[in-house]
Amino acid sequence: MLPSMTSGEKIFQWFAVILVVMMSFAMVYPFIHIASISLSTPAEALRPGIHLFPLEVSFDAYREAMQSNGIWYGFQNTIFRTTVGTALTLIVMSMAAYPLSKKYLPDRSFYMMFIILTMFFSGGLIPTYLLVKGLGLFDSRWVYIVPTLFNTFSLIILRNFFMSIPGELEDSAKMDGANDIRILFSIVIPLSKPILATVGLWSAVMHWNAWFDALIYVQDQTKIVLQVFIRRLVIENQQQELMRIIDQQKSLNAETVKAAVLMVATLPILLVYPFLQKYFIKGILVGSLKG
């Protein structure tokens, strides 16, 4: 307690703390619940009431979940789109942000308008669907990457950052005979690591969590992403998936397997985001204040 607080302020402070603790518990409990269920025996999982710690810990649900083909295809494709998609996005967006950051670019405001205008209208779901179909991207892993290459908000953030890089660095490189492309890749990009980290992380999270494009554009079950697998299992309650998993052990129940699958998909983000949150936060602050 800081000594400078009056007793009125102290009471208020405790009140605020209690509210925040309650809120934090509400945020965290669902994860504890699912973690607990995933480690429970089937009988335990169905028990009504609060689930904090399973009385008997059982890893059966995880074993069964990991044996299904769907989850491995899901992981493969999700990891593919997260790594390749993010890498390509960073490359092409940097390539575009750089020229747009130069005041001397001919017709620069036209190109900016061309891009920014797209934030205010949309073709709609059906026209976009037909377009993707027409481009032959159905049932291809590239449908996860190509239509999501650019994000206008991130592009603007990148451009603004490039604009803040001192011109002298590039001028001296030009005098040494480097052309624009070399300057971009050897000088500007290495200097932009923090902002690239932010933009890259946003893209990665988007790809990791993406599910709707996989749902409508992909029928081939070997090409679905993790989120779609989870959706099939947990939400659409597709019995075949469940039956295939549960076949061997009759005692295994659907709830524990569903919970295990949810945990498997959530743990990567849970483990990673506390360390990376500063990048995300910086990003939206920079973006919104300049925006």
Binding to another protein in span 225-244, by CB under 8 A:
227-228, 230-231, 234-235
Binding to another protein, residues 151-210 (CB under 8 A)? 155, 179-181, 184, 205, 209-210
Residue 269 found at the interface with another protein (CB under 8 A)? yes
Residue 2 found at the interface with another protein (CB under 8 A)? yes
DSSP 154: H
DSSP 124-149: -HHHHHHHHHHTT-TT-GGGGTGGGS
**Least gap, CB of 125 to another protein (angstroms):** 5
Binding to another protein, residues 108-147 (CB under 8 A)? 111, 114-115, 118, 120-131, 135, 147
* # binding residues, another protein (CB under 8 A): 92
CA 5 centroid distance within chain:
42
Of residues 11, 186, 270, 290, which one binds another protein by CB under 8 A? Answer: 270
Q: Among 267, 245, 266, which Cα is nearest to 256's?
A: 245
**Least gap, CB of 51 to another protein (angstroms):** 7
Q: Among 258, 264, 248, 267, which Cα is nearest to 40's?
A: 258
Residue 59 found at the interface with another protein (CB under 8 A)? no
Among 59-67, 92-100, 168-176, 240-248, the segment contacting another protein (CB under 8 A)? 92-100
Q: Which is nearer to another protein, 179 or 240 (CB)?
A: 179
Of residues 43, 57, 169, 281, which one binds another protein by CB under 8 A? Answer: 281
Residue 3 found at the interface with another protein (CB under 8 A)? no
Binding to another protein, residues 13-32 (CB under 8 A)? 13, 16-17, 19-21, 23-24, 26-31
Question: How many whole angstroms separate alpha carbon 107 and alpha carbon 101?
Answer: 12
Question: How many whole angstroms separate alpha carbon 134 and alpha carbon 129?
Answer: 9
**Least gap, CB of 28 to another protein (angstroms):** 6
